[in-house]
Every structure is written in C-alpha cells, then in structure tokens.
Amino acid sequence: MADDRLSVIFGALADPTRRAILGRLADGEATVTELTAPFSISMPAISRHLKVLERAGLIARSRSGQRLSSTLRAAPLQEATEWMERYRRFWDASFDRLDAHLRQAEPGREAD
C-alpha cells in the first residue's frame, strides 16, 4: 500500500475486522485481549490490526501496567470525509450544472 496519509487511512478501513474493532471501541476503550475475544482469529493477528489502525491514527494506545488499552481517535475519519466532500455534488440532489455538463459530454447516455 502507498504510504501517503489518505492511502493509509482508507487502507486501514478496507478490512472488516478493523472496522469491527473501531465499532467496538466506539463503546469505550478496550485491551488487546478484549478486542480479540469476539473474533475467531489469534491475538497476534489482532495485535497487527491494531498496529495498522494506530499507524492510521485511528486509535491511540496507552499502557496501564500489564494492560495495553486502545482508544478510538476519529480525526482521520474527518480527513477521509473531507476528501470525499469534493465529490458530494455528484451524489447530491443539487446536481445542476455539473450534471448537465456530464450529460452533454456523452449525449447518448442516461444516468443509471
């Protein structure tokens, strides 16, 4: 995967296990053991998913004794959303001028 910021963020979100982990963390911080429990994969596998999420800035980790807790950090989701905003006009009801431009560019085709 490319190592630019958005690629790292989208890449982190491109895995259902990692998205499920974020879902769990929305209910509050959790240890690696707790995050492993709901899944049928090994702890080392979860450990590496957490590293991917951490690299993307989607979680922060803090040790308290033996336990290593992960906390959700949603700022990167905002970055991702902001990137997508650029395309919002393509799915919005207010399609207007641009829609016209596209139709004109290939007159024979209708939007599906």
Looking at residues 38 to 67 of the shown chain, list those that interact with DNA (rule: CB under 7 A): 40-52, 61, 63, 65-67
- Taking the C-alpha atoms of residue 104 and residue 109, their distance in angstroms, rounded to an integer, is 9
* Residue tagged 């980790």 (tokens): 61
Select from a second copy, DNA, none the partner in contact with residue 38, using the beta carbon and a kind-dependent cut-off of 5 to 8 Å. none
Q: Indicate whether 68 belongs to the interface with a second copy (CB under 8 A).
A: no
Q: Indicate whether 112 belongs to the interface with a second copy (CB under 8 A).
A: yes
Secondary structure (3-state) at 64: strand
Quote the DSSP letter at residue 41.
Answer: S
- Taking the C-alpha atoms of residue 4 and residue 90, their distance in angstroms, rounded to an integer, is 25
Q: Indicate whether 65 belongs to the interface with a second copy (CB under 8 A).
A: no
Number of H helices, E strands in the chain: 7, 3
Looking at residues 2 to 41 of the shown chain, list those that interact with a second copy (rule: CB under 8 A): 2, 4, 6-7, 10-11, 13-16, 19, 22-23, 26, 28-29
Q: Which is nearer to DNA, 44 or 90 (CB)?
A: 44
Contact (CB, 8 A) for 11 and 19: no
Select from a second copy, DNA, none the partner in contact with residue 103, using the beta carbon and a kind-dependent cut-off of 5 to 8 Å. none
Could you tell me the two tokens for 104? 């004109």
Applying CB under 7 A, the residues found at the interface with DNA are 1, 11, 14-15, 17, 31-34, 40-52, 61, 63, 65-69
